[in-house]
Amino acid sequence: MTSHLKKVELHCHLEGAAPPALTLAQARKYNIDVSEYLKDGTYVWHDFASFLECYDKISEVYKSAEDYALLTETYLAELADVGTIYSELIVSPDHGKRIGLGADAYIDGVCEGIRRARETSGIEARLIVTGERHFGPDSVVGAAEYAAKAQKPLITGFNLAGEERMGRVADYARAFDIARDIGLGLTIHAGEVCGAFSVADALDVVRPARIGHGVRAIEDSALVSRLADLGTVLEVCPGSNIALKVFPDFASHPLRKLKEAGVRVTISSDDPPFFHTSLKREYDLAASAFGFSDAEIDQLTRTGIEAAFVDEETRQALLARI
C-alpha cells in the first residue's frame, strides 16, 4: 500500500528490532533459555513493566560485537527493502557494559552493521545513545559521559528511555546537559506511559528538539499549542501505543489531531516485533487507519528528515530523494 513511498525512521530501539528467529538462533548459540520470553516465534509480555523486562532479557542473547553487527545489518536490510533511506537507531552502550562486552565494542559492532548495510543498499543511519531510567540517574549520566568521550561520528543524538514512571525528568537533567554541551541532538521518551505532565517536564527541563511518543500531550490543549509553537517534533509510534494500550484503538489515537493542531509529527515502529509491527506497517497504517494521502505521508517523512540528527549536507541529500 505504501511500498512506493520513501521512508525514514527516527525512533527504533536496536534490540527492540531483533527478529524472533534471530534471537532464538542466538539463544541456542549461547545456550541461554529464553522460553519464558519468546514462545512460538513471539515475544511474551503483558504490560509495560513486563515488556521492559522481556526486552532486557532478550537483549542478553546478543553478546559479541559481531552479534551486534549482524543484528544491525539485518534490521537495516529489512528497512531498506521497504524503501527506507534513513534510520536512527536507539542504542545503549550501558547494555554493552552490563553484558561484559564493553561500550566501545558494542558501538563498534553496531557501526560495522551500518557500514555493511549501507554498502549493500545505500541506507543512511545514525545512532542515538540512550540512558534507561530504570537503571537510575547515575547510569544515565554514565551513558551521556560515554557519548561525550566516545569519538564515534555516527553517534549524533542522546535519549532517555525505560520506565517513565521512575523519577522525574529533572532527576536526569545533568545527563542532558552533558549531551547538549557536546552538540548531540536531544530527544526524550515522554507522554507515553505518563500523562501530559511528563511532556511539559521534558520541555521545561530539557527543551529537546524532539520527543519520543509525546502523544499524551493531547490531554492538555495548551501543551499541544506549546509543542506547535516550539516546533518540537514528535516521534509517534502508533502500533507501539496500541500494543501497550496507551490508547484502546487507532480510532482514538491522536496522531491526526496533533498534526492538525500544527504539531510536527513523524512515524516510527519503536520495538517492531515486540509490538507485532514494522515500519512498513506503520506507513500502511498512516494511510489505512489515519487516512493520510501519499502527499501527507511524504510530509511526515520530510519532517523526519528535517528533524534528523545529521549534518546539513546529508539532510539535503536525503530531502532530495523524497
Among residues 7, 189, 259, 281, the one that binds ligand ADE under rule CB under 6 A:
189
When asked if residue 192 is in the footprint of ligand ADE (CB under 6 A), the reply is: yes
**Parallel, antiparallel or unpaired: strands 38-39 and 42-43:** antiparallel
CB 272 → ligand ADE: shortest distance, Å? 11
Task: State which of residues 201, 270, 282, 284 lies at the interface with Zn ion (CB under 5 A).
Answer: 270
Give the residue numbers marked as catalytic: 192
Nearer Cβ to Zn ion, position 9 or 270? Answer: 270
Q: Give, as ranges, the residues between 246 and 275 that touch ligand ADE (CB under 6 A).
A: 270-271
| 3-state SS, one letter per residue, for the chain | CCCCCCEEEEEEECHHHCCHHHHHHHHHHCCCCCCCCEECCEECCCCHHHHHHHHHHHHCCCCCHHHHHHHHHHHHHHHHHCCEEEEEEEECHHHHHHCCCCHHHHHHHHHHHHHHHHHHHCCEEEEEEEEEHHHCHHHHHHHHHHHHHCCCCCEEEEEEECCCCCCCHHHHHHHHHHHHHCCCEEEEEECCCCCHHHHHHHHHHCCCCEEEECHHHHHCHHHHHHHHHHCCEEEECHHHHHHCCCCCCHHHCCHHHHHHCCCEEEECCECHHHHCCCHHHHHHHHHHCCCCCHHHHHHHHHHHHHCCCCCHHHHHHHHCCC
Is residue 9 involved in binding ligand ADE (CB under 6 A)? no
- Is residue 161 involved in binding ligand ADE (CB under 6 A)? yes
Closest residue to ligand ADE using C-beta atoms: 161
Residue 244 or 297: the one with the smaller Cβ distance to ligand ADE is 244
Residue 158 contacts ligand ADE per CB under 6 A: no
**Which residues, 34 to 93, sit near ligand ADE by CB under 6 A?**
55
Q: How many residues bind Zn ion (CB under 5 A)?
A: 1
Residue (35 or 50) nearer to Zn ion, CB: 50
Q: Among ligand ADE, Zn ion, none, what binds residue 23 when CB lies within 5 to 8 Å by partner kind?
A: none
Contact between 16 and ligand ADE by CB under 6 A: the answer reads: yes
Query: Which does residue 80 touch among Zn ion, ligand ADE, none (CB within 5 to 8 A, set by kind)?
Result: none
State the binding partner of 88 from Zn ion, ligand ADE, none, CB within 5 to 8 A by kind: none
Contact footprint for Zn ion (CB under 5 A) = 270
Contact footprint for ligand ADE (CB under 6 A) = 13, 16, 55, 161-162, 189, 192, 240, 270-271
